[in-house]
Amino acid sequence: MANTYICFNGPMNTIAAPVSVTTGSVIKTLLQLKPAANFPLRVVEWGISFDASAAATPGKVELIDTGTISGSVTAFAAADIMPFNDPNAPANTAGATGVPLNLDVAASGYTCTSEQAITATRMLDLQLIAPTGQYIHQFPLGERPAVKPGNILRVRTTFGAAVNALTYIVFEV
């Protein structure tokens, strides 16, 4: 049986609640994962929610494989990649060569500060979601999108006006 892991667009929360991240008013990567060599990942589930108080024009929300092009993110710490189905699953190892995810500002992390020019993509899910809404997608067994080692999986948003968001990905390796 494969091990599953979960990560959010922020560090592992301990004594404080998770912090929402602003989408901004242009395209922004909120969560980015880079599978390590020999560790292709399959997306089991992903979700996103927004905290606006009034309905407005929906934003575009993407789950996308951007090939080997990454954005500049706040790198995850090893503890931010949490075992999901088995609490005894191997912990993610630290650093740019960590497994099952590489952890680095150009690898796995959150809150992108610099989007890079992407030359090829593979769209895995695309939705228009109201800034007061939420979305969860659980992929059926046998139909889970895979991301090959070295490629970049991202959750990106494009809103007309900034709104705060929380997002997560459950993946198996």
- Contact of 101 with 37, CB cutoff 8 Å: no
Regions of the chain where pLDDT drops below 50: none
Structural tokens at position 88:
């005894």
Q: Which of 169, 170, 165, 168 is nearest to 133 (CA)?
A: 165
Output the pLDDT for position 120: 87
Q: What predicted TM-score, i.e. pTM, was given to this entire model? A: 0.96
Per-residue pLDDT, 24: 85
Asked if 10 contacts 110 with a C-beta cutoff of 8 angstroms, the reply is yes
Instruction: Specify the pLDDT at position 119.
Output: 87
Question: Using omega within 30 degrees of 0 as the cis cutoff, is the peptide bond preceding 140 cis?
Answer: no
The DSSP element (H or E) to which 57 belongs, if any, is none
